[in-house]
Amino acid sequence: MVCSFSVRAEQAWLPKTPMQETYQALLADRPKVAWQELIFALSQQQIPTERWAKIKYAIINQTDCGQQLTEPNGKGIPQGLTISFVRRAGASSLGYEIKLSAEQVERDTLLTLTDPTGQTVLNEILNAKSGYQEIESGQLFTQITPGIYELRMGGQHYSLVVYGLPRRPWVKLIGHPEQQLAVDVPDTPISCSPAAAHWLWLDDAYRWIEQTPIYLSGRADNSYAPTKIKLPTSSLVNAEHLSVTVSHFEYQGAIKVNYVERLALPLPRSENKK
């Protein structure tokens, strides 16, 4: 539904497009095959994001938010493996970051992630551990490049199709002197959870204290205007930093791919903290 018209137009006018096999598989109601063809097409040559983003959207939507995709399968993948592509904004933090988290890692595992240009963005060891752990790329000063990311882990190789993060922010501060947030959540496939926004409270060492949801029910279904949200008027005990996050996720087989925007905010000061 999302892309059938554009797909048919593409076939009619550009029958020799590099993504022809992807289009044909999707039109034949074979989204798993279309996924493999999409990975192959993107790994062979550079294709503008606008040419494949809607196709990926449709495939993810038709495969239970990507959970029905057979690749990557669960073999050799730790429980809860998540790759997060993060954009940070605000006076104290600017740039991009890639994080990988996992649980129940059975053995020490070397992990390498390369971006579509071939640059290594993660090269760390996941330690044998039953609990949660994460590794980070550190601050990146260039945008998250859309395309194929190659993940090598424990002798296995997985290809991930990553949207990147749009230039237009999902959340920003507006107004003066009374500031508000303008939150413009991205659209997600129907079979995925909707994008969500949260307040994130941190201590002086940037350790997590509490995360609370931001309800966006004030936005009309037929309106494309961002939702305006008032900033908190009081702070939590021990909180020294406040951020707002907007995020959405999909699955690519056994791997969860998370897209996050995080905006640092001025911490509200009050005599009586909660």
Encode pLDDT of 161-182 as tens digits: 999 888 889 999 988 777 899 9
Task: Give the model's pLDDT for residue 261.
Answer: 96
Task: Give the model's pLDDT for residue 74.
Answer: 58
| Helices 49-62 & 20-27 angle (0-180, nearest 10) | 30
Q: Of 213, 208, 217, which Cα lies nearest the Cα of 239?
A: 208
Residues contacting residue 213 through CB under 8 Å, at least 6 positions apart: 196, 197, 198, 199
Contact between 264 and 225 under an 8 Å Cβ cutoff? The reply is no
Task: Give the model's pLDDT for residue 225.
Answer: 77
Task: Give the model's pLDDT for residue 92.
Answer: 64
Task: Give the model's pLDDT for residue 73.
Answer: 58
Encode pLDDT of 199-215 as tens digits: 999 998 888 899 999 98
Task: Give the model's pLDDT for residue 272.
Answer: 43
Tokens of 22: 């992807």
Encode pLDDT of 113-136 as tens digits: 999 999 999 999 999 988 899 999
Tokens of 184: 């413009």
Task: Give the model's pLDDT for residue 188.
Answer: 94
All residue ranges of the chain with pLDDT < 70 are 1-16, 71-75, 91-93, 217-224, 270-274
pTM of this structure: 0.87
